[in-house]
């Protein structure tokens, strides 16, 4: 499955309470670097299906989730494990950087 849309309403259930580590892309449609990162995030969602929950939070539509985690710049990619953010990547990065960080979190 491709990446999910996380919202202020479902963030607690989908990310915080998830048994599976979650990668969350905080983005906005007007953000050019976010549009660069988007296809990479979609590829990662497919590659890590079953091992990592991948989704996006539109910061304009879901300000509470962005505020809760101190998102000041987008794109910001946070990886959650056991309900806590364990890794943060700010700005557009290469797929290899994202994969390296994901592997660190997944332990492989």
The span from the CA of 41 to the CA of 20, in Å, is 17
Catalytic entry in 23, 34, 37, 102: 34
User: Model confidence at 12, in pLDDT bands (50, 70, 90)?
Assistant: very high
Please report, in angstroms and rounded to a whole number, the separation of the first and last CA atoms in the chain.
22
Looking at domain 4-106, which CATH architecture does it have? 3-Layer(aba) Sandwich (3.40)
Known active-site residue 107: no
pLDDT at 1: 40
Annotated domain spans of the chain: 4-106
The span from the CA of 11 to the CA of 41, in Å, is 18
pLDDT in tens, 69-87: 999 999 999 999 999 999 9
Catalytic entry in 22, 24, 31, 44: 31
The span from the CA of 41 to the CA of 34, in Å, is 10
Known active-site residue 52: no
């Amino acid at each position: 499955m491709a990446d999910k849309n996380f919202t202020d309403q479902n963030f607690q259930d989908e990310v915080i309470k998830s048994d599976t580590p979650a990668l969350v892309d905080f983005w906005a449609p007007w953000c050019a670097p976010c549009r660069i990162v988007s296809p990479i995030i979609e590829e990662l969602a497919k590659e890590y299906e079953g091992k990592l929950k991948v989704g996006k939070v539109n910061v304009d539509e879901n300000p509470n989730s962005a505020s809760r985690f101190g998102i000041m710049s987008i794109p910001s990619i946070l990886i959650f494990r056991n309900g806590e953010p364990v890794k943060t990547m700010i700005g557009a990065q290469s797929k290899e950087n994202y994969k390296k960080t994901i592997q660190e979190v997944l332990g492989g």
